[in-house]
C-alpha cells in the first residue's frame, strides 16, 4: 500500500501547480509531503503566504515506542510571511489535522504551531536554508484515543539546483495515547525538496 501511495504521489507531481514536494527517508522510515501555494490559484490571495499541505509518514518500530506503527496522515494549513525587517527570515503560524491508529483505536489531533526559517548564501551559488517547526495539541484539541500531540522538527536545506534542494532534518513526534505517553517517531532523515 505504501509503495502504491508513493508512486501515485510522485506521478501526480506534474499534474498540479504545487509550491513544494518533499520526500524524506532514513534506514527505516519514508515520508512524503505536498505543500500547495493557494496564491497560485486565487488572484485575491497573496502568493507564497497561504499554504495547504498533505503529509504521509510511514514510521518503523526502530524509531518508535509503538510495536508496529500505522501510517501517520496529516492535512495542514500554514500562513507564512517573509520578514522585510529581517532579510532572509520567514515566519509562519499553522494548524494541522493528524490521524493514525494506535492499539486499533483512532488517534486524531488538531495541533497548532509555529514555523520559522532563515535563507542565506554562504557561497553565492549555494543558497542554504535552516528552519524549525513546533506543533502542539493539548487535551482539548486531542480526540478519540488521543491525550495530546507534540511535534518538533529542524532542517537544513542545500539548494543544489534551481527549484531543487537536498534536505537534512530531525523530527520528534509524540502521540500521547489515553493510556500512556508514546513517541510515534524520533529520527534523523535526508531527502529532496522540489519547488514548482
Mean pLDDT, range 132-140, rounded to an integer: 97
Mean pLDDT, range 162-187, rounded to an integer: 94
Mean pLDDT, range 141-168, rounded to an integer: 96
HEC profile for 123-141? ECCEEEEEEEEEEEECHHH
pLDDT at 12 over 70: no
What is residue 6's predicted lDDT score, i.e. its pLDDT?
47
Mean pLDDT, range 12-33, rounded to an integer: 79
Are the C-beta atoms of 172 and 151 separated by less than 8 Å? yes
Mean pLDDT, range 23-40, rounded to an integer: 93
pLDDT at 2 over 60: no
Class of domain 2-195: mainly beta
Q: How confident is the model at residue 122 (pLDDT cuts 50, 70, 90)?
A: confident
Q: How confident is the model at residue 34 (pLDDT cuts 50, 70, 90)?
A: very high
What is residue 101's predicted lDDT score, i.e. its pLDDT?
95
What is residue 15's predicted lDDT score, i.e. its pLDDT?
39
Which segments of the chain are extended strands (E)? 20-25, 30-37, 50-58, 72-82, 89-102, 105-109, 112-123, 126-137, 142-144, 146-161, 164-177, 183-195
Average predicted confidence (pLDDT) for the chain: 88
What is the residue whose three cell numbers read 527570515? 89
Are the C-beta atoms of 171 and 191 separated by less than 8 Å? no
Q: How confident is the model at residue 193 (pLDDT cuts 50, 70, 90)?
A: very high
Domain edges within the chain: 2-195
CA distances from 11 to 7, 8, 28, 56 (A): 6, 5, 23, 16
Residues 50-88 have pLDDT tens digits of 999 999 999 999 999 999 999 999 999 999 988 877 778
> Which residues on adjacent β-strands are paired with residue 100?
107
Among 9-13, 49-53, 90-94, the range scoring the smallest mean pLDDT is: 9-13
Are the C-beta atoms of 91 and 69 separated by less than 8 Å? no
Report pTM.
0.87
What is residue 10's predicted lDDT score, i.e. its pLDDT?
43
Amino acid at each position: 500500500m505504501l509503495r502504491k501511495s508513493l508512486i501515485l504521489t510522485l506521478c501526480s507531481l506534474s499534474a498540479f501547480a504545487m509550491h513544494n514536494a518533499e520526500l524524506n527517508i532514513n534506514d527505516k522510515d519514508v515520508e512524503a509531503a505536498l505543500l500547495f501555494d493557494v496564491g497560485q490559484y486565487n488572484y485575491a490571495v497573496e502568493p507564497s503566504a497561504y499554504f495547504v499541505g498533505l503529509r504521509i509518514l510511514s514510521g518503523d518500530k526502530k524509531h518508535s515506542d509503538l510495536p508496529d506503527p500505522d501510517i501517520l496522515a496529516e492535512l495542514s494549513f500554514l500562513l507564512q510571511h517573509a520578514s522585510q525587517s529581517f532579510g532572509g527570515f520567514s515566519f509562519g503560524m499553522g494548524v494541522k489535522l493528524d490521524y493514525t491508529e494506535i492499539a486499533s483505536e483512532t488517534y486524531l489531533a488538531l495541533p497548532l504551531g509555529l514555523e520559522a526559517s532563515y535563507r542565506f548564501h554562504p557561497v553565492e551559488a549555494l543558497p542554504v536554508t535552516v528552519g524549525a517547526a513546533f506543533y502542539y495539541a493539548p487535551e482539548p484539541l486531542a480526540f478519540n484515543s488521543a491525550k495530546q500531540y507534540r511535534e518538533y522538527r529542524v532542517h537544513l536545506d542545500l539548494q543544489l539546483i534551481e527549484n531543487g534542494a537536498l534536505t537534512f532534518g530531525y523530527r520528534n513526534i509524540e502521540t500521547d495515547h489515553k493510556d500512556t505517553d508514546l513517541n510515534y517517531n524520533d529520527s534523523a532523515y535526508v531527502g529532496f525538496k522540489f519547488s514548482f
